[in-house]
Amino acid sequence: MKKRIIWLSLALVAGQAGHAFAQDASDALRYSRLQFGGTARTQAIGGANVALGADFGNLTSNPAGLGLFQKSEVHLTPGIGIGQSDSRVDGGTGAAQNEARNSFHIGSAGAVFATRRPDNDQTSNWRGGAFALGFTRLADFNTGFRYGNTLSNRTVNGYNLTGDDQSYLASLRRTVGFDGYTQADIDKIRADRKTGQYSSLNRLADGAYLTDIAKDRNGNDLGVASTTRKGPIGQAGSVISRGSVSQFDLGYGANYRDRLYLGLGVGIVSSNFTQTRNYTETETDATTHLSDYTLHDELRTTGTGLNARIGAIYRATDALRFGASIQTPTFMRLTDNYSAAFTTTFTAQGNDVVATSLPTGPVGVKVLDQAFPLYAYTITTPFRANGGVAYTLGKLGFISGDVEYVGYGQARLHNDSQDGNGDNYSFAAENSDIQASYKNTVNIRVGAEGRFDVFRVRAGYARYGDPYKIDSNNERAQNFYTLGAGLRQGNFFLDLAGVYTQLNQYHTPYDLGGYEPLVKVNNTRFTTSVTAGITF
């Protein structure tokens, strides 16, 4: 495993899996790294509600909190997300590039149905409880960034590298029996040429005349060579992601003697993720035929999953509460829908003849695209555990804090051989990468609310730890800064929240053993949510 993490790399490695787009450790992290969600009240206090109770957000954090509801309620929480990214190639001379990604969403919707024995009814120590059901948005995939770079001649560790030696096409140049290609891979390239249907991205590159099978003097296959290029290589890229992870929950919380609260919940997960990537390389040397090419690809992943959680809250005094909950791993069934296209520009000038169809080949602008077969697989996300403490200040408000444990290295990819779009691939190498790449982390959340007659003022902070085990010099923790306000008037309540999020990411567009460009991405996102509801 490289010491530099490949956050989202083009799926190019030959022989990894039989399908076109290779699943890897980043997929496991994507569906494991969730955020706090729920009503505007939950968001305004940084999600710190594990010990608080009487909060709809308890349905996804600690269902025992449902036992503290005194009244039933229904609510709806729409929201708007405004995102920005600044991206720069590490060591590059170009200016940072900015990208904006905005979205509208429903953050939460649901109902709580509470029951409680009258205070003069002492026939049971179980004083009541509440059943809740609803929808919560737990992850936001709406991000985007773009970058530019120039690959020039340089010396690295004593090796003299041209711009072409550091390019994407260099990552496709492999030797049979070394660095990924086998004779079977070469034979599959030939088979795809005959059918015109390309079963992997590197075979699509062969069909676009960017690579060719290299032979020795005796006609034996040596590996894969790429079209010749000279001089500086210009690069430009963009990655746009959309989608979310949402969860529909059913839960119940019970109240024992107004001291101990116990809860159980079941979550049905729904996920949709779309990523569109563009990557371009250009060069202007008159002695080469290839002027430029662009790879455009799109991945759409949809899936469903299931998890469960239990929790407890203990009221040590009238003011002090302690809470804890655990959530099982989430089992998800996912399906990838992947397509890709190469757009090439070859000129009539030039004297390179590496590709067999040049110089009499596809002069001008040509497009070769391929929609690959659907691929089904499964993911098991990590077990999660929460602990919290809350202190109420009478009618003045409260202070609350949570600690959450997540073992990201426990996530696993599996095949889905029972699905018609699955196979028996073992994912052993990918799961080893997950263990080597990710670690156990602790997330912290703190929040407070002040009450002023019918008005509420809230603030919070959350820090979700860096999940990466290696490459510790690059910090990838998520920081959330939250503010909010609320109004309680009769049976009606209205809450407003703003969440400002900071996250650094690192992207390499392809794998070249450390010689590929590293894009540093600084993401910020501001999400504002409004919850309107009634109690009854």
Among the residue ranges 14-23, 102-111, 252-261, the one predicted with the least confidence is: 14-23
Q: Is 480's pLDDT higher than 80? A: yes
Q: Within a domain: residue 253?
A: yes
- Token pair belonging to 377: 């697989």
- As a whole number of angstroms, the distance between CA 35 and CA 31 comes to 11
Q: Within a domain: residue 127?
A: yes
Give the model confidence (pLDDT) of 238-291 as tens digits. 999 999 999 999 999 999 999 999 999 999 999 999 999 999 999 988 888 899
Of 360 and 409, which is predicted with more confidence? 409
Q: Within a domain: residue 13?
A: no
Model confidence at 471, in pLDDT bands (50, 70, 90)?
Answer: low
Q: Within a domain: residue 454?
A: yes
The CATH number of residue 32's host domain is: 2.40.160.60
Model confidence at 329, in pLDDT bands (50, 70, 90)?
Answer: very high
Domain range enclosing 243: 25-535
Q: Is 395's pLDDT higher than 70? A: yes
Q: Is 351's pLDDT higher than 80? A: no
pTM summary value: 0.90
Q: Within a domain: residue 345?
A: yes
- As a whole number of angstroms, the distance between CA 328 and CA 71 comes to 29
Q: Within a domain: residue 209?
A: yes
pLDDT of residue 17: 44
Model confidence at 5, in pLDDT bands (50, 70, 90)?
Answer: very low
Q: What is the mean pLDDT of the chain?
A: 90
* DSSP per-residue string spanning 148-180: EEEE--EEETTEEE-TGGGSHHHHH--BBTBTT
Model confidence at 13, in pLDDT bands (50, 70, 90)?
Answer: very low
CB atoms closer than 10 angstroms to residue 231 = 17
pLDDT of residue 16: 42
Q: Which amino acid is at 36?
A: F
In this structure, what are the phi and psi dihedrals at residue 190, rounded to the nearest 5 degrees?
Answer: -65, -40
- The count of structural domains within the chain is 1
Q: Within a domain: residue 1?
A: no
Give the model confidence (pLDDT) of 521-536 as tens digits. 999 999 999 999 999 9
- As a whole number of angstroms, the distance between CA 170 and CA 167 comes to 5
Give the model confidence (pLDDT) of 44-86 as tens digits. 999 999 999 999 999 999 999 999 999 999 999 999 999 999 9
- Token pair belonging to 288: 């080469």
Give the model confidence (pLDDT) of 203-247 as tens digits. 999 999 999 888 888 888 888 888 878 889 999 999 999 999 999
Q: Within a domain: residue 4?
A: no
